[in-house]
């Protein structure tokens, strides 16, 4: 049997199972799957170096299915090949046809879209929210390069989803970093969900675009085994220094079964007589296309070669003061003031020197986030990834780096992190060990105005802090360091924790509050002042305003407690004890819109069932520019005089 | 004096003022401004049809400064021309040099980045978070076309920011919709913030990319007045049916003053001797480039011609039942079940027929959001905007449509709305009258799994509900209709309200709860069942689970109250009264991550200072696929049996 006939036979077999499993599930995207039958067959049964017995092997070539809804075709191949599945790595078993037929069941690891954390380790990341796969693939390739591993990364992208700008961010990124081990494969089946794709996403236009971005493009018939084979072989044989390559494959949505082709068949399973008809059509196609007896001889999977380099152990990082001194900043240290964003940059450099898994990404603001202290260290420079002004690609690339065993820290202004919230959520769904350093947070950057201020960010990340992730930890830790010691310590703590973390630093230089002896633990808080009349809870930059307010209150005879709630989630019982010790009077202060720290405290108080009085101070207007911090704090009603006035009123004292 | 000399003289004058105002502010981006001096001079003093006395005139050509940090150059021109400024439209006054020198002051309308709502109506939208301007420009152009107005829209884009994928989404959108009245002008000054731009963003590569996207590209020297003039003239003379045009201008960051050129001068004002040196260099350039006496004869601004079409009045929309009947769905109406997403689609069609300002945008899911009922109505089709799979562009285009006087409704899955949170926040900052219809919200879509489920969305939008926008209303209304009557009524209410709204509909068909007589008001709620033992507060799809739970509780002798909190914000006092009438026992139920409805109630309770017991039920795990709603509700602990059990426990009754 020829290779061509063998591919046709296998693709048709997988197409048929795709139809069946979607029919069983009562939903899914069989026609998208069928447009991918031949491409996936050549990849998974021939071109990729991998082993069905070790789908997560980092030495193996990887397949990122950016158009995640096409997953039935990959599931069909995995069922045919007996690829290991199962949520618990210790008790994985070969996938069967029955597993495929359990698609989308609540207890099944065969999820509606690629979802490695539910027990399908062949995939490296959750996909299905479109446009992210190529960035993930790029991250996987970067990790491999850093480890000196030769794995290739294939990425299948839908024509419709190539409308997402992130795809083009990824293309720029691949060219910038010469990630020639990534092969983007555009599946041009000409249909989106609700209509044909735009001519802007036609195979011809995509090829032109890719060439203009610097790719060498191979345009093929995505159902012609020899053309697919030749394209993938050409990719595999390319030497270092070649331009990145891309494949633009013209395909048919519902290939082989005319009765399920055309508009109106997106995301719709064929059932009953329609299912039978599609099977009959595919059977007829097989008769026509496979002249000899079926046989798999030409479809042989080769395992990867090589060995994983031994993972280097992480050593302990120096203290903040030691790091300042070893970076020639003793005199700055002596001033007693340093911005939290700078301390985070310093911590990354210190971390990078003791932990080889640390990778730092930035989006053209490294001189503001101070990740340049990592980038400019010649021993670390090759683990610094300049992503330019493209935050979506940065976060998904970090998700890929995490899947490749790295600990990625992504830095930019917190405001611009917003740009990638969907990518961040998909990284959480992927179980990614992602760390986000958002600088210039809240209103304290003042002069640049609201287009650069992060304001609803604490509310958004807080939603994840009460979700258990796949490892049982919180879906996110939000960390808000009040001084440089805290920012430094919490950056180290983020690296220790396996899971997603968001640290929110600020622009201004601020006074030291802590010292090298303070230990910062995720989930804890610090009591800065202990009083008995009122509990003030704040974090980050606002701690300094609260400290000034406490001085004013002290003059009025109000004896307030101040808690630095540097972590959300936090120890709720310990905070409730403090509230009770302060007469049940609580004031929260934060430099962002509602739903953040104040609501976290409100949630904790109301769960207890005890009576408390809580007043929340937060940003209640859309801010604008002011020339300095004082100006913007006054504008937003968060100046320390306003805090003191509110606190005094709670305690029944006039100011 | 020649045109060329006049432009040089004016550009140098504006450059010098840009330097001065940033020096006065102590921050800002003078060198970016100086790279734009000639381009902005030719635009604002020659090519644009507009009047400094009526900067917001919709007939005028518009300038969208996508790289918002370059705004000092526009401020300088406006100060020179006496363009009207001021927050209150009734008392605007001509801008002066003093105003320019007040850049970034708290009380100044001359904000750090373009910010029309603070009193600078020359700009149509807030920019500064990069990559959004071209989409806004496209929206402005679409609105003009719908109104039959001939205004042109110029958009200046930085080379660094053209790394943002959204720029390329906008390019596709402009070609798809033949928006030839938009002129993208790429300012290639070769420097980003922290470094030179990537070769991927060089003038040559940008030109190639733009050509591959379907633009006719004019590459020019951005400091050569005649070349700029010729390019803009060519644009203005183009006839209908031409390809869209783009200008790629090579410029110098800090043009005219070598002492502030090169890396290290991004976002940094020159002060003291450095400022003087830059001035001296610019003066020398003027001597060299302007051989005759200065004079403005060649720089003459022409006002726009034409007249605004009379705005048609909006009429009243029919009731839900009437709309169903007139759309041949009487038999569906009789089933007593209909999905909220479908009712929203129906409402858009009804609204479109009575209100000519309504425009509907969708991102290739119109057959899921049912905006196709608007799109397929031949009387409305030209107000339907297919945006394809590119949500960022959709939201910013809607911001532009709003600035052009339209009421844009943007529809897609709530999950994919996340993609555009930064664009949505900038639309709020712009004062945009934007309406977002997120479908398939929460977990009830079940089978597709978490990549399609919106989970932290309520928390994020809630952050805006406690912000006062520039008109004094909430920054956002979150609306969660429980049935079709509510979805229909709330869609109409969204159109009535001037301000940002987010409506969260669900996939499943659900039973009717209301009827045509129910009036849905933003900020209110409905009491569905009145009891005395426990107050259950829920919204949207979960109301139906709560109704079933109430039946179970009734059998156990628990007499619960059920509130449909369809709006956030809501009437807090009325809800507290109900809580008190129910023994202070409250249970909240929602189908999303924490920080949403439950925290909204917690905030209200703790502000009151009374003692209440609140338990919150929400999604506490990362969901996965299940084949039906029952399966996913059980998986997430939100099945009605779980709700009843929790409610009974609060009331001390065993289940």
Quick: pLDDT tens for A289-301: 997 555 556 789 9
Which backbone phi and psi does A388 adopt, to 5 degrees? 60, -170
Residue A484 reports pLDDT greater than 80: yes
Distance CA B66, CA B70 (A): 9
Q: Do β-strands B477-479 and B567-568 pair in parallel, antiparallel, or remain unpaired?
A: antiparallel
Q: Which helix (H) or strand (E) holds A417?
A: helix A414-417
Distance of CA B12 to the CA centre of its chain: 35
CA distances from residue A23 to A29, A101, A272 in whole angstroms, order as listed: 10, 9, 9
C-alpha torsion angle, residues A225, A231, A234, A239 (rounded to 10): -140
So what's the pLDDT on residue A291? 73
Distance CA B532, CA B307 (A): 62
Quick check: helix, strand or coil at residue A629? helix
Distance CA A640, CA A617 (A): 11
Verify cis geometry, omega within 30 degrees of 0, for the bond prior to B585: no
So what's the pLDDT on residue A264? 85
Residue A655 reports pLDDT greater than 70: no
Q: Which helix (H) or strand (E) holds A372?
A: helix A372-375
Question: Shortest CA distance to A609 belongs to which of B611, B650, B535?
Answer: B611
**Residue of A126, A423, A450, A584 to mutate for B, most B C-beta atoms under 10 A:** A450
Taking residues A41-57, what's their average pLDDT? 97
Contact B425 A614 (CB under 8 A): no
Residue A227 pLDDT level (bands cut at 50, 70, 90):
very high
Quick: pLDDT tens for A201-224: 999 999 999 999 999 999 999 999
Residue A314 pLDDT level (bands cut at 50, 70, 90):
confident
**Residue of B173, B267, B460 to mutate for A, most A C-beta atoms under 10 A:** B460
C-alpha neighbours within 13 Å on the C-beta side of residue B270: 28
So what's the pLDDT on residue A424? 98
Across the interface, which of A428, A616, A627 has its CB nearest the CB of B104? A627
Across the interface, which of B131, B450, B460 has its CB nearest the CB of A460? B460
Do A501 and A477 form a contact (C-beta atoms < 8 A)?
A: yes
Do A132 and B391 form a contact (C-beta atoms < 8 A)?
A: no
Contact B129 A415 (CB under 8 A): yes
Do B377 and B119 form a contact (C-beta atoms < 8 A)?
A: no
Quick: pLDDT tens for A248-259: 999 999 999 999
* Angle, helix B484-496 to helix B340-354, in steps of 10 degrees: 40
Distance from CA of B234 to the nearest CA of A (A): 25
Cα dihedral B70, B72, B75, B77 sign: negative
Do B387 and B359 form a contact (C-beta atoms < 8 A)?
A: no
Q: How many CB pairs under 8 A join A and B?
A: 407
Residues of chain A in contact with residue B634, where contact means CB-CB under 8 angstroms, are 106
C-alpha neighbours within 13 Å on the C-beta side of residue A345: 24
Across the interface, which of A428, A429, A622 has its CB nearest the CB of B469? A622
Q: Which two tokens mark A380?
A: 């670390």
Across the interface, which of B201, B426, B467 has its CB nearest the CB of A451? B426
Residues of chain A in contact with residue B213, where contact means CB-CB under 8 angstroms, are 200, 209
Find the residue in B nearest to A612 (Cα). Answer: B609
So what's the pLDDT on residue A1? 66
* Beta-carbon contacts of residue A326 (< 8 Å; ≥ 6 apart): A318
Residues of chain B in contact with residue A195, where contact means CB-CB under 8 angstroms, are 364, 366, 386
Distance of CA A475 to the CA centre of its chain: 12
Distance CA B351, CA B345 (A): 10
Helices and strands (H, E) in chain B, number of each type: 25, 21
End-to-end CA distance of chain B: 92
**Residue of B26, B70, B159, B364 to mutate for A, most A C-beta atoms under 10 A:** B364
Contact A462 B595 (CB under 8 A): yes
Instruction: Give the DSSP per-residue string, A128-193.
Output: -STT-HHHHHHHHHHHHHHHT----EEEEEETGGGGSHHHHHHHHHHHHTT-TTEEEEEEE-SB-S
So what's the pLDDT on residue B295? 59
* Angle, helix B597-608 to helix A597-608, in steps of 10 degrees: 70
> Which residues, in sequence order, are bridge partners of residue B591?
none
- How much helix, strand and coil, in percent to the nearest 5, is found in chain A? 45, 15, 40
Q: Which helix (H) or strand (E) holds A278?
A: helix A272-289
Which backbone phi and psi does A274 adopt, to 5 degrees? -70, -35
Burial class (CB in 10 A: 0-12, 13-18, 19+), B95: buried
Distance CA A348, CA A376 (A): 12
Distance CA A314, CA A352 (A): 9
So what's the pLDDT on residue A310? 85
Active-site entry in A391, A425, A545, A590: A391
Distance CA B587, CA B325 (A): 38
Quick: pLDDT tens for A531-542: 999 999 999 999
Q: Apex CA B304: angle with CA B302 and CA B308, to 5°?
A: 165
Annotation marks residue B545 as catalytic = no
Residue A651 reports pLDDT greater than 90: yes
Which residue blocks in B471-536 are alpha helix, DSSP H?
Answer: 484-496
So what's the pLDDT on residue A260? 97
* Beta-carbon contacts of residue A452 (< 8 Å; ≥ 6 apart): A413, A415, A440, A445, B112, B113, B128, B129
Q: Which two tokens mark B414?
A: 């709530």
Q: Which two tokens mark A87?
A: 């949520």
C-alpha neighbours within 13 Å on the C-beta side of residue A164: 29
Do B344 and B520 form a contact (C-beta atoms < 8 A)?
A: no
* Beta-carbon contacts of residue A303 (< 8 Å; ≥ 6 apart): A49, A50, A51, A60
Mean pLDDT, rounded, of chain A: 96
Active-site entry in B169, B281, B391, B425: B391
Residues of chain A in contact with residue B71, where contact means CB-CB under 8 angstroms, are none
Question: Shortest CA distance to B483 belongs to which of B543, B535, B571?
Answer: B543
DSSP-assigned letter for residue B160: G
Taking residues A93-115, what's their average pLDDT? 97
Quick: pLDDT tens for B284-296: 999 999 975 555 5
Q: Domains (ranges, CATH) in chain A? A: 3-289 (3.40.50.970), 320-441+480-511 (3.40.50.970), 526-650 (3.40.50.920)
Contact B451 A364 (CB under 8 A): no
Do B317 and B350 form a contact (C-beta atoms < 8 A)?
A: yes
Distance from CA of A227 to the nearest CA of B (A): 25
Query: Average pLDDT by consecutive 10-residue portion of chain B (655 residues)?
Result: 92 98 97 98 98 96 98 98 96 97 97 97 98 98 96 98 98 98 98 96 98 98 98 93 96 97 90 97 96 68 90 90 97 98 98 97 98 98 98 98 98 98 98 98 96 98 96 97 98 98 98 98 98 98 98 97 98 97 97 98 91 94 97 98 97 78
């Amino acid at each position: 049997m020829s290779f061509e006939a063998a591919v046709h036979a296998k693709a048709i077999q997988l197409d048929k199972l795709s139809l069946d499993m979607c029919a069983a599930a009562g939903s899914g995207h069989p026609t998208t799957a069928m447009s991918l039958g031949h491409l996936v067959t050549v990849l998974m049964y021939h071109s990729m170096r991998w082993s069905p017995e070790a789908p997560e092997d980092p030495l193996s070539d990887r397949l990122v299915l950016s158009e995640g809804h096409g997953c039935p075709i990959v599931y069909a191949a995995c069922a045919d090949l007996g690829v290991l599945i199962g949520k618990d790595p210790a008790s994985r078993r070969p996938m069967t046809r029955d597993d495929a037929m359990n698609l989308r069941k609540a207890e099944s690891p065969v999820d509606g879209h690629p979802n490695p954390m539910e027990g399908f380790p062949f995939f490296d990341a959750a996909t299905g929210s479109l446009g992210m796969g190529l960035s993930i693939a790029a991250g996987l390739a970067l990790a491999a390069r850093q480890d000196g591993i030769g794995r290739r990364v294939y990425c299948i992208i839908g024509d419709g989803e190539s409308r997402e700008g992130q795809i083009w961010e990824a293309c720029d990124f691949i060219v910038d970093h010469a990630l020639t081990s990534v092969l983007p494969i555009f599946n041009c089946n000409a249909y989106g969900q609700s209509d044909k794709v735009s001519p802007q996403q036609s195979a011809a236009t995509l090829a032109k675009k890719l060439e203009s971005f610097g790719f060498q493009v191979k345009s093929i018939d995505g159902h012609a085994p020899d053309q697919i084979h030749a394209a993938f072989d050409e990719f595999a044989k390319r030497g270092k220094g070649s331009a990145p390559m891309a494949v633009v494959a013209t395909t048919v949505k519902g290939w082989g079964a005319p009765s399920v082709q055309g508009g109106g068949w997106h995301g719709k399973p064929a059932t009953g007589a329609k299912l039978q008809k599609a099977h009959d059509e595919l059977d007829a196609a097989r008769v026509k296309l496979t002249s000899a007896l079926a046989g798999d001889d030409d479809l042989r999977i080769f395992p990867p070669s090589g060995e994983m380099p031994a993972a280097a152990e992480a050593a302990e990082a120096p203290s903040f003061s030691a790091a300042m001194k070893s970076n020639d900043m003793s005199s700055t240290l002596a001033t007693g003031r340093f911005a939290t964003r700078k301390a985070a940059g310093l911590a990354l450099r210190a971390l990078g020197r003791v932990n080889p898994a640390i990778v730092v990404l930035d989006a053209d603001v490294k001189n503001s986030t101070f990740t340049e202290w990592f980038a400019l260290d010649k021993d670390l420079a090759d683990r610094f990834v300049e992503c330019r002004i493209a935050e979506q690609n940065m976060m998904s690339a970090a998700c890929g780096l995490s899947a490749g065993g790295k600990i990625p820290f992504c830095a930019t202004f917190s405001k611009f992190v917003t740009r990638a919230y969907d990518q961040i959520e998909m990284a959480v769904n992927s179980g990614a060990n992602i760390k986000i350093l958002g600088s210039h947070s809240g209103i304290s950057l003042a002069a640049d105005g609201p287009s650069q201020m992060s304001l609803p960010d604490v509310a958004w990340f807080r939603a994840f802090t009460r979700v258990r992730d796949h490892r049982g930890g919180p879906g996110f830790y939000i960390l808000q360091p009040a001084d440089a010691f805290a920012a430094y310590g919490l950056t180290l703590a983020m690296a220790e924790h396996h899971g997603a973390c968001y640290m929110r630093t600020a622009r201004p230089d601020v006074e030291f509050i802590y010292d090298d002896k303070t230990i910062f633990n995720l989930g804890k808080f610090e009591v800065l002042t202990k009083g008995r009349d009122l509990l003030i809870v704040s974090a980050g930059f606002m701690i300094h305003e609260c400290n000034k307010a406490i001085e004013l209150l002290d003059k009025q005879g109000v004896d307030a407690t101040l808690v630095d709630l540097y972590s959300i989630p936090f120890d709720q019982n310990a905070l409730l004890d403090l509230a009770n010790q302060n007469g049940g009077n609580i004031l929260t202060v934060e430099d962002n819109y509602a739903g953040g720290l104040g609501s976290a405290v409100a949630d904790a108080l109301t769960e207890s069932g005890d009576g408390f009085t809580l007043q929340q101070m937060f940003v209640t207007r859309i801010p604008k520019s002011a020339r300095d911090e004082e100006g913007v704090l006054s504008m937003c009603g968060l100046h320390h005089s306003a805090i003191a006035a509110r606190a005094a009123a709670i305690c029944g004292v006039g100011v």
